[in-house]
Amino acid sequence: MMNTRRYKVISSQKKRQHGIALLESLIALLIFSMGILALAGLQGFMLKGASEAKNRSDASVIAQRRVAMMWTDAKDTPAALSAAYAEVNTAVPDLPNGLRTTAFNALVPDEVTVTVTWQAPGEPQHNFSTNANIVGAR
């Protein structure tokens, strides 16, 4: 008689545990899904950062090319340099909404400032500026 009673206790405990494996697997699936969503969000931030870094690099190259062209032309015709290269908000197709400004400093005769601005959709405006001394620029 004792064995029958023990069997009934064990049997009722097994009946109460039906569905525990399903519940554990659903919780595991929830945790896994949250991890995947976090990785997807991180990838989005990484792509945005890479895009911003590329735009900064492109702006630097654009400004340095402009300065290099002025240095090259300063050797040939230094007097006409400011007339040939002074510009305000010239479109730059390599950057989103990119503009380039080349300004000659009135106080320092040989100083030139090249500023490149750009603005990606939904982002604030960014700029890159470089100064160069070009002998005979004005």
102-122 residue pLDDT tens: 988 878 778 889 999 999 888
Query: Within a 10 A sphere around the Cβ of 133, how many other Cβ atoms?
Result: 12
Instruction: Encode pLDDT of 84-97 as tens digits.
Output: 788 898 899 989 99
Tokens (6 digits) for 84 = 């040939």
Contacts of 42 (CB under 8 A, 6+ apart): none
Q: What is the DSSP letter of 119?
A: -
Would you state the pLDDT for residue 8? Answer: 61
| CA dihedral of 91, 95, 99, 101, whole degrees rounded to 10 | -110
User: How far is 17 from 115, CA to CA, in rounded Å?
Assistant: 71
Say if residues 70 and 137 touch (Cβ distance below 8 Å): yes
CA 119 to chain CA centroid, Å, is 12
Alpha helices in 81-121 (DSSP H): 81-85
